[in-house]
Amino acid sequence: MKWVYVLVACLCFFNSLVDCKWKHERRENHWRENANEVTTASSYRQDPPDHTKLIPMARYVLHNADWASLATISILPAIEGFPFSNVKSIVDGSLANSTGVPYFYMSPLDFSARDLAKNSRATVLVSLEETRYCENKKIDPEDPRCTRLMLSGKMKKIKERTPEYVFAKAALFERHPAMADFPPDHNWFVAKLKIAQIAMIDWFGGAKYIPVRDYLAYNYTGTEMLQFHNKGLQK
Ligand SMILES: *[C@@H]1O[C@H](CO)[C@@H](O)[C@H](O)[C@H]1NC(C)=O
Ligand SMILES: *[C@@H]1O[C@H](CO)[C@@H](O)[C@H](O)[C@H]1NC(C)=O
């Protein structure tokens, strides 16, 4: 009698495996169909590059992101040493001139700057969903086709009055006009991530690691941010 139960259980388990595999395949086909759809509705800025072009894709996602999640090692007493993440408005250069380096406008009063004063190690996360591309294509933010970029490294304060400071501050204020009205007594400074590792989820097949040198050397000539901005001004 007992064996009958075991047999039934085994059959059910086997069936659920087959069922599961089938569902998975159907899902992947459905994904591929969606991915190949051409849509003219574009509340997002412009289609991203071909997913096999890893460096253009990485640079596109960062250049088109207005904000990032910044993860640091916390100094808050209750969670000392825990990872802690925050939202920061970013640019990777001016609208017309992408550098691939994320720049930040920070105050020593903020969580992140306080953590970074003790430990400058950080990870910066940006997602293609920030352009609304994924939502438009009905792709979930965690779907690997909704490309995401995790830049890790050490955060560095940029010295005032250097050409890089002037460039980065102007770029931050160009993309985030609200920064001009941030409270003047918060000792704002400009910082950047000195990138040590670039990890990217881009399409199926696992994580991609992009050589930092090639990523930085790539001449990104996309003008979609500039066009998007100019269109906004015309409205
Ligand atoms: C872009 O920025 C770099 C410095 O980050 C500068 O050397 C270059 O001249 C700039 N190009 C344009 C078109 O502004
Ligand atoms: C990047 O590409 C643009 C357009 O093709 C070109 O004008 C510019 O000189 C290039 N910049 C570098 C640093 O190669």
Residue 10 has pLDDT above 80, yes or no: no
Q: Average pLDDT, stretch 176-185?
A: 96
What is the residue with the minimal CA distance to atom 10 of ligand 2? 219
91 Cα–ligand 2 center, Å: 20
Residue 226 has pLDDT above 70, yes or no: yes
pLDDT, tens digit, 9 for 90 and up, residues 142-160: 999 999 999 999 999 999 9
What is the residue with the minimal CA distance to atom 5 of ligand 1? 99
* Pairwise CA distance, residues 57 & 50, whole Å: 7
Contacts of 83 (CB under 8 A, 6+ apart): 71, 72, 73, 74
Look at residue 144 in the predicted model and tell me its pLDDT: 97
- With cut-offs at 50, 70 and 90, classify the pLDDT of residue 46: confident
Cβ–ligand 1 distance for 167 under 6 Å, the answer yes
* Pairwise CA distance, residues 54 & 32, whole Å: 19
Cβ–ligand 1 distance for 97 under 6 Å, the answer yes
Residue 26 has pLDDT above 50, yes or no: no
Query: 102 and 194 in contact (C-beta within 8 Å)?
Result: no
What is the residue with the minimal CA distance to atom 11 of ligand 2? 219
Cβ–ligand 2 distance for 219 under 6 Å, the answer yes
